[in-house]
Amino acid sequence: MIPRLVVTSGEPAGIGPDILLAAATKPQSAQLVGLGDKTLLATRAQQLGLDVRLVPYSSTGPTVAHQPGELPFIDVSLSAASHPGTLDPRNASQVLAQLDLALELCRNQECQGMVTAPVHKSVINEAGIPFSGHTEYLASALGVSDAVMLLVSGDLRVALATTHLPLRDVSDAINQPLIEHSLAVLHRALSQSFGITEPSITVLGLNPHAGEGGHLGKEELAVIEPGCNAARAQGLTVIGPVSADTAFTPEKRQKTDAYLAMFHDQGLPVLKTLGFGDAVNVTLGLPIIRTSVDHGTALELAGTGQAKASSLQAAITLAGQLAVKQRGTA
């Protein structure tokens, strides 16, 4: 089975178009369908010296593995001309239109997964559109209230109990049902999507030293430990909550198939330090497959030819693998 993947170009002023075009120059095991503004993609390809022929996408043809140098695409027009490195709120609607179209293609099963290039959250909000991130936007559009963000770099996997929240709001957002749900979704993904038999999940505490028995915070005793115990009662292998500062030692990593961190900047600095540029963001709990890059729009690199497409390549590869596995178990 050759999956068909829809790949967005993300923020037009960033490196999204660059890395999409770069990926189009390489052989892929999946068929790619690019989304973006035709004129921008053609201009950027010329600026970067990339020999990529843009071909209007047709759903009627056979699904064949991507051929280097040719990119089937759907034109999603910009509202205003875009220049590398210069954000323009007028184009925020085009960025979201890409996501809406990608969702439609996956919902109707025309595509078996979506891969997203980076977007710039602040410029979307400046356009008057509340937006906290891909994960939240896609979950809301699909009617999912509690999707789980997972970052993958090789055999290191870190999921998040909360995603894009101010730090002062994290404690209030963490409760026992959230811990139980996050562990259940993560366990199911590790078993079904990643093929890990009896996965072991290490849960990080919220407070220093995992609360030090309640002397440095009560969240571990009040909600995190009970959530872990409830998951264990369901047969899951759960370690913790443990102190985050020593959770990623080589010895502990050997016993862990995935970590559940309590907030964004608790677990991701470790993963991105070890695997930045090759890590993949996977949204768990959605009825579709969605992967993404592990980095932002890198405005200063847009149009320079210095942006690396390795994370997008990894996201395409993983999305294809997940699609094949999903089809095999359907």
- Classified as helix, coil or strand, 61 is coil
Q: Please state the rounded mean pLDDT for residues 57-76.
A: 93
Q: Please state the rounded mean pLDDT for residues 117-125.
A: 97
211: alpha, beta or left? (left if phi > 0; alpha if psi -120 to 50)? left
Sheet architecture: strand order including 290-292: 53-56, 70-75, 31-36, 4-8, 113-116, 290-292, 280-284, 148-153, 156-160, 258-261, 200-204, 237-242
Place 304 in a pLDDT band, splitting at 50, 70 and 90.
very high
Q: Please state the rounded mean pLDDT for residues 77-83.
A: 97
What does the mean pLDDT of the chain come to? Answer: 95
Question: Is pLDDT above 80 for 328?
Answer: no
Place 275 in a pLDDT band, splitting at 50, 70 and 90.
confident
User: What is the percent of the chain with per-residue pLDDT over 70, rounded to a whole number?
Assistant: 99
pLDDT at site 174: 97
Q: What is the CATH number of domain 1-144+286-330?
A: 3.40.718.10
Residue 8, burial from CB neighbour count under 10 angstroms (0-12, 13-18, 19+):
buried
pLDDT tens figures, 213-267: 999 999 999 999 999 999 999 999 999 999 999 999 999 999 999 999 999 999 9
Q: Please state the rounded mean pLDDT for residues 70-80.
A: 97
Asked if 1-144+286-330 and 148-281 have one fold, the answer is yes
pLDDT at site 329: 60
Domain ranges of the chain: 1-144+286-330, 148-281
pLDDT tens figures, 168-225: 999 999 999 999 999 999 999 999 999 999 999 999 999 999 999 999 999 999 999 9
Q: Please state the rounded mean pLDDT for residues 84-88.
A: 97
pLDDT at site 327: 77
Question: Is pLDDT above 70 for 299?
Answer: yes
Question: Is pLDDT above 90 for 62?
Answer: no
Distances 73 to 52, 100, 294, 317, 321 between C-alpha atoms, Å: 11, 15, 23, 19, 22
pLDDT at site 131: 95
Looking at the DSSP bridge assignments, the partners of residue 74 are: 35
pLDDT at site 27: 96
- Matching CATH number, 148-281, of 3.40.718.10, 3.40.50.720, 3.40.50.300, 3.40.50.2000: 3.40.718.10
pLDDT at site 60: 86
d(CA 48, CA 65): 24
d(CA 267, CA 247): 10
pLDDT at site 330: 54
**Cα torsion 137, 142, 146, 148: sign:** negative
pLDDT at site 276: 83
pLDDT at site 311: 95
pLDDT tens figures, 12-53: 999 999 999 999 999 999 999 999 999 999 999 999 999 999
